[in-house]
Chain A
Amino acid sequence: MSQKLSITQRINFPHSFKLTAPRQQMLFGYLILLPTLVIIFVFRFYPMLQAFYISMTDYDLIKSPEFVGLSNFIDLLKDPLFLNSAQVSLTYVFFSVVPTWIISMGLALLFNRHIWFKNLFRSAVFMPVIMPSVVMALVWTFMYHQQGVVNIILGWLQISPIPWLRSSSTALWAVILIGIWRASPYFMVIFLAGLQAIPSDFLDAAQIDGANSWQSFLYVKLPLLKPTTLLVIIMSIITAMKVFAVPLIMTNGGPANSTRVLPLFIYQTAFEFFDMGRASAMSIFLFAAVMIITVFQIRLFSAGEDE
């Protein structure tokens, strides 16, 4: 048994402070959190607080911000363009996130089995994650052309060509498809990591007890995947709420504002309309929506957490 002192034991505490084991651990916990805390607080949280402040000002990026209270928020609630963007974003989030969960979970389960050429398939499926967002937007723009790849493939399936980017009823679906395409492999990898971490003892035990693969999934894997699932749900919603490059480059919010998701509108308001106050206010709405969903999910999933 080593007599070496731990980091926390080496700190000289005032004599009255009893360094019990739990306290020692607590201190260690704080200590290893510190670097992360410092970086995130200084470079993320502090600018975030400033953005909160700016949302209550009139700020055009050039003159100093002028406090205006809640008028940005009130104006936004009456602004049809903002309400349109909020709706577009919500539509996008719902219809991209739900299929993404299903597909990424399904793919992870598939890849958890014994498969020939597993590496090959897995690498192929991972490709969407690797493409730079700007290039991805450009390539898909060409693929969505009237006579482009997507319509050609639809033609093989005897489906007539869809106007995709050239109609306000189909453009958002075009963007959603890209979102699903991009996010599914990403979250598949996370689910895979989670699945890999399930001790094979549990799975063997289940098999010995006569469970088939569906039961094994439902009663062994799914519960043990809870932390991973929480992560995927929250991250997929956050990333879907922030999607920006594709609507900007592919459609610039069009046609007729049908793909003007909130982050794009925020960007335009900040840097094209020079109204940073309003843009920040919009972000606060976005933030609030995501925060509520997140806290709700955490509560939901905390019901069985290992602590």
Chain B
Amino acid sequence: MRISWGPQHPMSGQVRILIDTDGERVLNIIPDIGFTHRGIEKILENRNVVQGIVPIERMVMVDTANIALSYVRAAEEILGIEPPKRAQYIRVILCEVCRILSHLYGFGLAAEACGGYPAVFLWTTADREPFLDLMERITGTRWSYSFFVPGGVYADFPDKIKEKFLATLDYFEQRLEAYRRAWFENKIFEARAKNVGILKPEDALRLGAAGPNLRGSGVALDVRKDEPYEAYDEIDFKVVTRPEGDSYARLMIRYLEMVESVKILRQAIENMPSGPYRKFVSPLRRLPKGEAYTRVETARGEIGVHMISDGGTKPYRVKIVSPTLRNLYVVSQMPKISEVLLADVPVILYSFDPWYLDADR
């Protein structure tokens, strides 16, 4: 029997998932994506490097800083400029706050998929608000900041919000403790998510899982440590991995990464150097001929931006290597590598934290 879990559904997102079943056993999972395909790669050939930040950061709205950073770093590599130290620390702060926002979102949706617990989902919605207020104080908007430019950041970090920032982090650490007690030690969640959708490390590399899904199977790949960018080489944090590879481990990784992000934020705020925050680069400047491939660790996995320039003001080709497209391939191969029952399909899908606008671009 073929079930069409379509775009109009409380828990499907902007995708149609076709599930072939034989009784309760799932034979095939086929994601049908493309419902939010906007043609960003074609649009970016029609924008210069400052105008191009606006479409590309709307690729993943919860995680805009990491996505915009990959595009801006590719432009900086072609132009051959390096942002000042203060700008690098400000970028790290925004990236880590976006990582927390994105993990809260993915984790809240997974909790709702695992048992229909709107309580945890609404807790995560409420806990995003203090961070959105901080982002509004720094950048001016709640989402889609357009704050990174080639050469630095648009405005300076206001030093008077440092205390409010640290107070928000203290409050958030209490909330993380509450999540651990209410959700991760919850017998229903353990019954639904433990030993479900097991992904072995060699399968994870062969099929191309990305980000926390790869680290949830024991493979320690994290671009922030493999190829440190911005100020990550001066900050002390660890790469979190779990050996089990099931859905519980993947969601646990997201929780532990939020704990690490709080540590990174504290260090970045306390050690921020003073100095200039931007080297001005004109948007009408001609890009030199060349190419650049940058890698940035977003909340869902590693994103790559390959920018090829032929000497004009607009890039010749921009290719975006999306993490969710790789994760969706792993989801579609899940019935072949382990036994999947019909009730496990939403748990597995949401433990990979898909964001379909990122797969469709």
Q: Say if A and B assemble together.
A: no
B: residues with CB less than 8 A from A are none
A: residues with CB less than 8 A from B are none
